[in-house]
Amino acid sequence: MPKPFNISQLNLSGSEIPKLLKACSDSKLLRFEDGEYLFCEDDESTEVYAILRGAFVVEQKSGAAGLQAIATHHNEEDNPCFIGEMSYLGTGIRTASVRSSGVTYAIKLKPSHLETIIEKFPTFTRILCQQFSARLKEANDELKEIVATNAVPVTQVDAKAGEMIIAQGSPADRLYQLIWGDLQWERDGQPIPGQPVMDFIEPTAYFCGLPHAVTVRATTEACLVAIEKPTKEAVIRNYPQLILKLFKEATEAAATVRKN
């Protein structure tokens, strides 16, 4: 557990810290030992910490790997910083853990104290604004990355009756999805009887990097969309049921081969 300390232990000559403590009289001075957590990921705590001296590590959960360090920070007495300040914006649950690296001296503040800081302490306000700006930029960059990773850009394909959509033996560089119309599957130039009409055409070849095993033609006017190969990972994220279906079919086919 962190312990209180006396502000006289730190060299704060010329600092606004004593004035800040007076203005925020219900704040707390806390000393964190090496390895102690200021707060943990998924906590619903809302306290803000002004780090006066020391270092800390920012960690996030990473599946089976447990906690993973994503950032470190060290500051001296003449360069305080804030941690957990996003709680001021009402973000709720903590998105990361913060652990002291060595001994860390901090002021434990309430979110409401930031209003006092913004009103009366221009130096700290500038620090807060810089940190808010950095945090929002990080969040915006993460959002852009998520959108780019999960986006599935498609191209509309309008086919006339008799037009070939896929040629047997050609690279499966695009995944086609039928919107409306009728299609005919062929192998070695011969129609395949009883071939079911599927939403996605030859998905196994697309995902496994295989050449197309069949030729597919439109027997009526048809409308399809084509998904390019570079967005394969996004397709997997957006259509997990399709991947599970293909995996099940492959497993059943392998079992049949073993029996025979």
The tens digit of pLDDT for each residue in 124-173 reads 888 888 887 887 777 667 666 655 666 677 888 899 999 999 999 999 88
Q: Which of 200, 207, 202 is nearest to 177 (CA)?
A: 200
Q: Are 49 and 108 in contact (CB under 8 A)?
A: yes
Taking only the tens place, the pLDDT of each residue in 106-123 is 999 998 898 899 889 988
Taking only the tens place, the pLDDT of each residue in 72-118 is 888 766 678 899 887 766 656 788 899 999 999 999 999 889 889 98
- Looking at residue 201, its pLDDT comes to 86
CA-based R_g, the chain, Å: 30
Any idea which residue has 């209003």 for tokens? 115
With a CB cutoff of 8 Å and minimum separation 6, the contacts of 104 are: 31, 32, 38, 51, 53, 54, 55, 56
Residue 258 has pLDDT above 70, yes or no: no
Q: Are 166 and 178 in contact (CB under 8 A)?
A: no
What domains appear along the chain, each with residue ranges and CATH number? 3-149 (2.60.120.10), 154-259 (2.60.120.10)
